[in-house]
């Protein structure tokens, strides 16, 4: 039950993009078309789960026992960035088809706040290993949900007559505001 609550919470109630403002750079950057945002959502989820697992192990077996917790931020950033780079190389070598589909998104994720924040929040909230993974999957899917919704809206918006000064990023922000309002409806759920 605890797992389910956490999972649902991460997907809709505490949606990372719309309530915690994380991952906005890619949220606005990639949401211009739908297929790209599906790929991005999947790539973020995958990277987030793997890097959460890795970061949890490093924190609990290296940083904490040796009293190096003040270095958490620096270590996590380097860990995730190098892990993503490695992942990119492996996928390029062994699954070129997959690489052609999602490869370009991987590099964008390497240093991104949403991927860094989930491992950090897992440590901060003292989650166990499994709970951390559940949180990562939920947060990743929440991100995917938000970016796919946003991309669908923006594709429709292309046909609309937007005032000149609001064109581009301006109207995208207002749209995100509307989505955030809609997600507010979930807030009493858990």
Partner 1 sequence: MKNYWQIFKKGIVAENPIFVLALSLCPALAVTSSATTALTMGLSVMFVISMNNIVVSLTRKVVNPKVRVPVYITSIATIVTVVQLVLQAYAPDLYDALGIYLALIVVFAIILARAESFASKNKVVPSFFDGFGMGSGFCVALVIIGIIRELLGAGSIFGVKILGDWYNAPLIMILPAGGFILIGYLVAAWKILTTHMEKKQAERGEA
* Residues in touch with partner 1 (CB under 8 A): 18-25, 28, 70-74, 77-78, 81-82, 111-113, 116-117, 120-121, 124, 163, 165-166, 169-174, 176-178, 180-181, 184
Instruction: Identify the CA nearest to 38 among candidates 140, 148, 143, 137.
Output: 148
Residue 54 vs 101, nearer CB to partner 1: 54
At its nearest, how many Å lie between partner 1 and the CB of residue 31? 13
Q: What's the start-to-end Cα distance of the chain, in Å?
A: 12
Residue 81 vs 148, nearer CB to partner 1: 81
Measured CA distances, 114 to 91, 137, 181 (Å) = 22, 12, 21
At its nearest, how many Å lie between partner 1 and the CB of residue 42? 21
Measured CA distances, 67 to 28, 51, 87, 120 (Å) = 39, 22, 29, 17
Residue 45 vs 117, nearer CB to partner 1: 117
At its nearest, how many Å lie between partner 1 and the CB of residue 77? 5
Residue 49 vs 114, nearer CB to partner 1: 114
At its nearest, how many Å lie between partner 1 and the CB of residue 1? 27
At its nearest, how many Å lie between partner 1 and the CB of residue 116? 5
Residue 57 vs 184, nearer CB to partner 1: 184
Length of the chain: 190
CA dist., res. 171 & res. 169, Å (int): 6
Residue pair 56/119 in contact (Cβ under 8 Å)? The answer is: yes
Instruction: Identify the CA nearest to 43 among candidates 97, 90, 110, 119.
Output: 110
């Amino acid at each position: 039950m605890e797992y389910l609550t956490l999972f649902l919470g991460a997907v809709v109630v505490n949606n990372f993009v719309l309530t915690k403002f994380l991952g906005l750079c890619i949220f606005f950057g990639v949401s211009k078309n739908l297929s790209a945002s599906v790929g991005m959502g999947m790539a973020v989820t995958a990277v987030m789960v793997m890097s959460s697992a890795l970061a949890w192990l490093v924190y609990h077996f290296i940083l904490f026992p040796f009293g190096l917790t003040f270095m958490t931020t620096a270590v996590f950033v380097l860990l995730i960035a190098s892990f993503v780079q490695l992942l990119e190389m492996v996928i390029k070598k062994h699954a070129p088809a997959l690489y052609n589909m999602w490869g370009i998104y991987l590099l964008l994720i390497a240093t991104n706040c949403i991927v860094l924040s989930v491992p950090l929040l897992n440590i901060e909230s003292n989650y166990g290993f499994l709970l951390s993974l559940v949180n990562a999957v939920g947060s990743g899917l929440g991100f995917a949900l938000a970016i796919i919704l946003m991309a669908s809206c923006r594709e429709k918006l292309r046909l609309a007559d937007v005032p000149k000064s609001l064109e581009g990023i301006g109207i995208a922000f207002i749209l995100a505001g509307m989505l955030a309002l809609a997600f507010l409806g979930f807030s009493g759920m858990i």
